[in-house]
Amino acid sequence: MYGRYCSSIVSSAENPVSRRSRKQQLESKMAGADGDDSLYPIAVLIDELRNEDVQLRLNSIKKLSTIALALGVERTRTELLPFLTDTIYDEDEVLLALAEQLGSFTALVGGPDFVYCLLPPLESLATVEETVVRDKAVESLRKISHEHSPVDLEVHFEPLVKRLASGDWFTSRTSACGLFSVCYPRVSSTVKAEIRQHFRTLCSDDTPMVRRAAASKLGEFAKVLELDYVKSDIIPLFTTLASDEQDSVRLLAVEACVSIAQLLPQEDLEALVMPTLRQAAEDKSWRVRYMVADKFSELQKAVGPEITKNDLVPAFQNLLKDCEAEVRAAAANKVKEFCENLPDDSKENIIMSHILPCVKELVSDTNQHVKSALASVIMGLSTILGKDDTIEHLLPLFLAQLKDECPEVRLNIISNLDCVNEVIGIRQLSQSLLPAIVELAEDAKWRVRLAIIEYMPLLAGQLGVEFFDEKLNSLCMAWLVDHVYAIREAATCNLMKLVEKFGAEWAQNTIVPKVVAMANDPNYLHRMTTLFCINALSEACGQDITTKQMLPIVLKMSGDQVANVRFNVAKSLQKIGPVLESTALQAEVKPVLEKLATDQDMDVKYFAQEAISVLALA
């Protein structure tokens, strides 16, 4: 009985009553409380903080603010927080919720003057072994760091960072890495020096975990440092991390490279950043080179046009020719973006003489991931190169990729046709396009067929109604009788989109007759497809076509011998009912549904009755 009683009240605590008014309400009740049952739900919440059921504990933790409000700021600080500080035994999901809650708890402990009271529980959460919990605790710590006064930051927050940074276990040291940058800007210069020292120490920590954490925060920390210290402190650390023995550390230095390059004046880049970047682009480990390829656009923006021309272009060429397929694929993905961001004065020259030869090789790469990565961006080059170069240089590549053995490559080309359409018009491609589409449409893998169906409306829009009728219409109809349900379903949806594009008249002439003809198919699955098509098309086709051409077919099928067809008739009638003329609804639909409502099959009965009540025919 308690269970039900409290849960109803507990959920009422979620009502969107403003925090202030809820607080007043609770306080007034507490004041006059003497056996007041308003304390009861809070009592339940507190007790459930240690219930055996994780879900109930989680529930209570998520309503921690309600508990804190009821206890008042004083008791929250002196009783609730000490209890929570030691709760780190709990399940990860409970700890995660707790770490999140504490990030917005400042008002509940008495405002910024007392925000430091939240540090002990968050400190212990920042040392647990589960990364997501630690990260959330660090996030909350970063959040509340801004609510500390400069004095409190030095008296309470900064010592916590130091404790974490010199903790015995690497979990606490990794957490410390994320906290330096938030306290650095707001402390005195002596403390700043200490923080820099701590960061340096962590960058050369014994455990790779800590070095990785430090490397991933290097860029962020560099941003809050004075430029002189960036040069004197960060650059040596950056160089060391970038040549760490563990490649998992080195690859994180690539990311830091972007932020550091943004901070430094152009004239220092060559001396301070480029040696490391060059080294990373030629690293022995493919994972590091992959990272360079993956971050290439950011790097390009960060180092500026001159260095791009002299250094990044050859580096990018090498990545496109890398011996590891993963690296080539990552680089291929960046081809368009890289070309777009090249300096205008030399853009065309660089693309034509340096990038395009590599791209040509990638078109016949041995690895299909590389080819499909390229296929997903290559069309974008046409807008950069313009009509003539596209026809001369890119078109042969598109055509080659359209004939690629791997369906994903062909699909990626087809899905990006719109870029080419704008530049050279799709007609140039249509000769090769058609066989590629037909082949994909008949691919043995249904997922491939599904993917090409999804591009049909797009293709139809670009190729125009004539071309479509002539070449593609029959494909769209063939999908309606595919042996995989997902394809038939997608095909009906496709018809609807085509009708939206080409209009009701086109539908009446080309699609409706074929759909209607399937109603007599011996296979009941195909007969059902007729109904599904009608469901999808009725709205797009409008009242006239639906009432005159589709409704008779649906009504006729109500006598089908297969119950599945009959109850789908009931469902269809319910669906198309609102589109129909009201006279037809009363005169034709109602008697049929009434008949179906007395069907022998209980499902047919059910759906007929449902249709009657939804259409208000009773």
Partner 1 sequence: MAGVGGGNDFQWCFAQVKGAIDEDVAEADIISTVEFNYSGDLLATGDKGGRVVIFQREQESKNRPHSRGEYNVYSTFQSHEPEFDYLKSLEIEEKINKIRWLPQQNAAHSLLSTNDKTIKLWKISERDKKAEGYNLKEEDGRLRDPFRITSLRVPVLQPMDLMVEASPRRIFANAHTYHINSISVNSDHETYLSADDLRINLWHLEITDRSFNIVDIKPANMEELTEVITAAECHPNQCNVFVYSSSKGTIRLCDMRAAALCDRHTKFFEEPEDPSSRSFFSEIISSISDVKFSHSGRYMMTRDYLSVKVWDLNMENRPVETYQVHEYLRSKLCSLYENDCIFDKFECCWNGTDSAIMTGSYNNFFRMFDRNTRKDITLEASRESSKPRGILKPRKVCTGGKRKKDEISVDSLDFNKKILHTAWHPKENVIAVAATNNLYIFQDKIN
Point out which residues bind partner 1 (CB under 8 A).
2, 33-37, 39-40, 42-44, 46-47, 49-50, 70-71, 75, 79-80, 82-83, 86, 89, 92, 127-131, 169-172, 207-209, 212, 245-248, 283-287, 323-326
Cβ distance to partner 1 smaller for residue 68 or 604 = 68
**DSSP-derived 3-state class of residue 444:** coil
Cβ distance to partner 1 smaller for residue 286 or 455 = 286
Report in angstroms how near the CB of residue 45 gets to partner 1 at its nearest.
Answer: 9
Cβ distance to partner 1 smaller for residue 89 or 466 = 89
Q: Using alpha carbons, select from 283, 364, 373, 284 the residue that is nearest to residue 326.
A: 373
Cβ distance to partner 1 smaller for residue 133 or 534 = 133
Report in angstroms how near the CB of residue 36 gets to partner 1 at its nearest.
Answer: 8
Residue 604 contacts residue 596 (beta carbons within 8 Å): yes
Q: Using alpha carbons, select from 86, 2, 62, 78 the residue that is nearest to residue 37.
A: 2
Report in angstroms how near the CB of residue 87 gets to partner 1 at its nearest.
Answer: 8
Report in angstroms how near the CB of residue 176 gets to partner 1 at its nearest.
Answer: 14
d(CA 122, CA 115): 12
Report in angstroms how near the CB of residue 296 gets to partner 1 at its nearest.
Answer: 19
CA 266 to chain centre: 35
Residue 560 contacts residue 527 (beta carbons within 8 Å): yes
Q: Determine the number of helices (DSSP H) and then strands (DSSP E) in the chain.
A: 44, 0
Report in angstroms how near the CB of residue 200 gets to partner 1 at its nearest.
Answer: 21
Cβ distance to partner 1 smaller for residue 326 or 489 = 326
Tokens (6 digits) for 552:
């008779």
d(CA 247, CA 590): 73
Report in angstroms how near the CB of residue 295 gets to partner 1 at its nearest.
Answer: 18
- 27 C-beta neighbours (distance < 10 Å), count: 13
Cβ distance to partner 1 smaller for residue 166 or 207 = 207
Report in angstroms how near the CB of residue 40 gets to partner 1 at its nearest.
Answer: 5
Report in angstroms how near the CB of residue 82 gets to partner 1 at its nearest.
Answer: 8
Report in angstroms how near the CB of residue 464 gets to partner 1 at its nearest.
Answer: 44
Cβ distance to partner 1 smaller for residue 209 or 563 = 209
Cβ distance to partner 1 smaller for residue 95 or 498 = 95
Cβ distance to partner 1 smaller for residue 83 or 485 = 83
d(CA 536, CA 530): 10
d(CA 407, CA 397): 16
Cβ distance to partner 1 smaller for residue 96 or 342 = 96
Report in angstroms how near the CB of residue 283 gets to partner 1 at its nearest.
Answer: 8
Cβ distance to partner 1 smaller for residue 58 or 378 = 58
**DSSP-derived 3-state class of residue 450:** helix
Cβ distance to partner 1 smaller for residue 19 or 75 = 75
E-assigned strand segments in 98-215: none
CA 192 to chain centre: 38
Cβ distance to partner 1 smaller for residue 143 or 371 = 371
Backbone torsions φ then ψ of 187, nearest 5 degrees: -120, 170
Q: In 225-321, which ranges are continuous DSSP H helix? A: 227-229, 235-242, 247-263, 266-272, 274-281, 286-294, 296-307, 313-320
Cβ distance to partner 1 smaller for residue 144 or 251 = 251
Residue 358 contacts residue 321 (beta carbons within 8 Å): yes
Residue 178 contacts residue 213 (beta carbons within 8 Å): yes
Report in angstroms how near the CB of residue 290 gets to partner 1 at its nearest.
Answer: 9
d(CA 347, CA 381): 12
What is the full DSSP assignment across 32-91? Answer: T-SS-TTHHHHHHHHHHTT-SSHHHHHHHHHTHHHHHHHHHHHHIIIIIHHHHHT-TTS-
Instruction: Output the CA angle 104-110-111, nearest 5 degrees.
Output: 60
Report in angstroms how near the CB of residue 166 gets to partner 1 at its nearest.
Answer: 15
Residue with token string 């394809």: 487
CA distances from 212 to 128, 244, 288, 316 (A): 18, 10, 13, 26
Buried b (16+ CB within 10 A) or exposed e, 211-247: bbbbbbbbbebbbbbeeebbbebbbebbebbbebeeb
E-assigned strand segments in 446-515: none
Report in angstroms how near the CB of residue 199 gets to partner 1 at its nearest.
Answer: 20
Cβ distance to partner 1 smaller for residue 220 or 326 = 326
Cβ distance to partner 1 smaller for residue 282 or 505 = 282
* Residue partners of 571: CB distance under 8 A and separation at least 6: 531, 535, 607, 611
- DSSP structure class, residue 92: H
Residue 365 contacts residue 328 (beta carbons within 8 Å): yes
Report in angstroms how near the CB of residue 468 gets to partner 1 at its nearest.
Answer: 41
Report in angstroms how near the CB of residue 205 gets to partner 1 at its nearest.
Answer: 11
